[in-house]
Amino acid sequence: MKRGGVEVRSFGYFLQLRTGVFSRSMVPAFFAVLCIIGVVVAKLDLNYLINEIFTRLGRNTFLVLSLLIPVVAGLGLNFGIVIGAMAGQIALVIVTHYRIEGLTGLAVAMLIALPLAVLFGWLTGLVLNKAKGREMVTGMILGFFANGLYQLIFLVLVGTVIPMNNPTLLLPSGIGIRNTVDLIGVANALDRALDGIWDGLIMFDLGPIPVGPWRIPLGTWLVTGLLCGGISFLMKTRLGQQMRAVGEDGHIASVAGIPVNRIRITAIVYSTVLAAWGQLIFLQNIGTLNTYNSHEQIGMFSIAALLVGGASTRKAGIGNAILGVFLFHTLFVVSPLAGQAVFGIPQIGEYFRVFLAYGVIAVALVLHAWQNRLPAKG
């Protein structure tokens, strides 16, 4: 009997494991299929696609990685990374104003963004600690709220209360920052930082098949790789262990003597700082700052990418982030072209990818809430 019992239990365990792996790889698999269908339907030039993905992996991965730490600490998906992105953009405007260029300019922007992001992150953490159990919706609304303050500063206060005299940055009326700011000074500063060693260009002919031109943004990939290492290291430190404990069960952690609220704030501060730097990396690649739009979509697209990579609101790793950026952005490139090929209307593809981004987040949130309720029921 005893033996039977053990067998039954281990069979159940086996099943659980299987369903776990199954459901976790389900989402990436679904999107991989979608990507392949899109590529085939759109008859896309693979060289173009690969080059595009190399660029986008550099551009977006850092931002997506900035979401990981709060997930570990049990705060869910940090919709507040928009606030970090704003810190980055404030720093960029300052750097552009003082015409600090190149890699130095980017480094100075990172330095300026650091204290801003720490402050913003600390404030975000304080607010989120007052809204335990609904951190995500609070973070999202906080992002909208901060966007209002951001616009107040950049549209109304600059040129009136904050003295600034720079016709290239200000609107013709002299009040408010222009809608688009050319970042020619820092454009591609990090992407091309290692050009002295190798410019990252891959181009050769494999028999009759032309390969390339693919260009790897080497500097950005290196920095992103360093961040991956940094996050793995952080998780092994005392702080990382404490975060994990808080994420597992806040109550038990507090009984064990971990300052739960402080750890949660620390996690958000880390995330906000990384988001600020991530936004800087994102914008140096794009080359222009859409002063009032660049940050808005960042939260949504980064979160959607992470979820597409198979993460959930309680479990996310570096692998999820990279796989997610790869899949989500492949779809991003492919879907307008596929929409054009299938329906003859490119907008359909464009709306489809927005639909996917929102839909993925909605489904992930539903699944998460559903799973959380199951043990309570049983």
List of residues contacting another protein (CB under 8 A): 127, 130-131, 133-134, 136-138, 140-142, 144-145, 147-149, 151-152, 155-156, 173, 175-176, 343, 345, 347-348, 351-352, 354-355, 357-359, 361-362, 365-366, 368-370, 372-373
- Sequence letter at residue 93: V
Query: Toward another protein, which CB reaches closer, 133 or 167?
Result: 133
Q: Which is nearer to another protein, 100 or 131 (CB)?
A: 131
Give least dist CB 212 to another protein, A. Answer: 35
**Residue 372 Cβ, how far from another protein at the closest point, in Å?**
8
Q: Which residue has the tokens 């650091």?
A: 114
Q: What is the widest separation between alpha-carbon atoms in the chain?
A: 85
Using CA atoms, how far apart are residues 357 and 158, in angstroms rounded to an integer?
34
* Collapsed DSSP state (helix, strand, coil) of residue 260: helix
Q: How far apart are CB 355 and another protein at their closest, in Å? A: 4
Looking at the Cβ atoms of 55 and 294, the one nearer to another protein is 294
Residue 75 CB, nearest approach to another protein (Å)? 13
Q: How far apart are CA 38 and CA 236, in angstroms?
A: 40
152 or 256: CB nearest another protein: 152
CA dist., res. 271 & res. 68, Å (int): 8
Closer Cβ to another protein, 127 or 235, answer by number: 127
Output the smallest distance, CB 134 to another protein, in A: 6
Min. distance of Cβ 76 from another protein in angstroms? 9
* Alpha-carbon span 146 to 169, nearest angstrom: 22
* Cα gap 38→21, rounded to integer Å: 26
**CA quadruple 25, 28, 33, 36: dihedral, nearest 10:** -140
Classify 210 as helix, strand or coil. Answer: strand
Structure tokens at 281: 């990396």
Write out the DSSP string of 87-138: HHHHHHHHHHHTT--HHHHHHHHHHHHHHHHHHHHHHHHHHHHTTTT-HHHH
In the block, which residue shows the tokens 């365990």? Answer: 13
Q: Which is nearer to another protein, 158 or 280 (CB)?
A: 158
Those residues with Cβ within 8 angstroms of residue 86's Cβ, 6 or more apart along the chain or in another chain: 120, 146, 147, 150, 295
CB of 358 vs another protein, minimal distance in Å: 4
Q: Are the CB atoms for 278 and 88 separated by under 8 Å?
A: yes
Rounded Cα–Cα distance for residues 38 and 29 (Å)? 14
Nearest residue (CB) to another protein, 155 versus 164: 155
Cβ proximity to another protein: between 154 and 270 the closer is: 154
Residues contacting residue 333 through CB under 8 Å, at least 6 positions apart: 44, 49, 52, 53, 56
Smallest distance from another protein to CB 170, Å: 13
Q: Quick one: 292 or 326, whose CB is closer to another protein? A: 292
Q: Shortest Cβ distance from residue 368 to another protein (Å)? A: 7
Helix (H) or strand (E) holding 182: strand 180-182
β-strand 209-215 against 201-206: which pairing, if any?
antiparallel
Q: In Å, how far from its chain's centre is CA 207?
A: 39
Instruction: Kindly tell me which of 132 and 215 has the beta carbon lying closer to another protein.
Output: 132
Coil, strand or helix at 291: coil
Q: How far is the CB of 274 from another protein (least distance, A)?
A: 23
